[in-house]
Amino acid sequence: MALREHPADHEGVLVEAADGGNGTGVLVLSGSSGRVELDRARVLAGAGVSAALTYRWFGGDGRPAAIWEYPLEAFAPAVATLVARCDRVVLVGASKTAEAFLAYAADDPAVDAVVALAPSHVVWANVGAGPDGELRPQHSSWSRGGAPLPFVPYDDDADPLGDPPAFTPVYAQSLRSAGDRVAAATIPVERFFGDVLLVAGGDDQVWPSVTFARAVQARRKALDLPTTLVTHPDAGHRVILPGEPVAASGQQMARGGTEVADRELGERAWPEIRRVLDLQ
């Protein structure tokens, strides 16, 4: 399919289907690398959506330097850009933006669906230093209306394993040690009435995304809200969609899985992604 690409704010790119596409607009953002997800945007636009927008959501000129009380409202202008062009809007986030989009969607009726790759069911503490350059004391990753969202702090006595480090044990121990804060930090996914697609690898070494995804699924299924979970036991943190290259950027850490298994998870998820994007 022929595509048109236009520059957008913050190193961003808006990829449009030359034939107008199917009326769906997609905001597609990376996880904690902050990178511009141009390859993924091209794959989605090439599949037939009307527009796929991606940009550097933190880091770089004019953006927050870290994920530290990052205002969820900062995603609203990108959503508005898609609303102006498209009939419906879908958010596609990975890892930290899967966490953010599940929280954001509950308060923006313009969002029709969320695709959450390697998601979290709770809000976590900051990733990176605050404006003062310090990592501690810990703060929420996200804010809304100028107020930080309740969050689960990292247990400073929990150590990652191996080299490069696997952080899954840190997240698991932090949930246990801060158990009294989990309820308040749980993302209110039941307040979003649109479709939610969760995709997670069973060998995720960044955080236990299958466990997190199942928690989201259970919370929504209790109210009979449309929710689908796709997993693969051998896949890791990164989901590779059909036609995507392997992402090379990001912090040095163990992500689990293999390229073969990560691609198999992407293949399993692809029919459901097409359904959510109204491509069937």
- Condensed to tens digits (0 to 9), the pLDDT of residues 86-104 reads 999 999 999 999 999 999 9
3-state DSSP assignment of residue 219: helix
- Non-local CB neighbours of 32 within 8 Å, separated by 6+ positions: 67, 95, 96, 127, 250, 251
Whichever domain contains 99, its CATH number is 3.40.50.1820
The pLDDT score that the predictor gives to residue 250 is 66
Q: For residue 172, is it within any domain? A: no
Q: For residue 167, is it within any domain? A: no
pLDDT higher than 90, residue 60: no
3-state DSSP assignment of residue 156: coil
Count of the separate structural domains present in the chain: 1
Q: For residue 164, is it within any domain? A: no
Share of the chain above pLDDT 90, in %: 95
Evaluate the CA torsion angle 91, 269, 221, 147 in order and state its sign.
negative
Q: What secondary structure does DSSP assign to 225-271, as a single string?
A: --EEEEEETT--S----TTPPPP--S-S----S-HHHHHHHHHHHHH
- Where in the sequence is the domain holding 250, given as residue range(s)? 3-150+187-276
Q: For residue 156, is it within any domain? A: no
Q: For residue 104, is it within any domain? A: yes
- Condensed to tens digits (0 to 9), the pLDDT of residues 187-199 reads 999 999 999 999 9
Q: For residue 157, is it within any domain? A: no
Q: For residue 94, is it within any domain? A: yes
Q: For residue 35, is it within any domain? A: yes
Find the mean pLDDT for residues 26-49: 97
227 versus 60: which is more confidently predicted?
227
3-state DSSP assignment of residue 32: coil
Q: How many of the other CB atoms lie within 10 Å of CB of 129?
A: 14
The whole-model pTM stands at 0.97
- Condensed to tens digits (0 to 9), the pLDDT of residues 200-256 reads 999 999 999 999 999 999 999 999 999 999 999 999 999 999 999 998 766 789 999
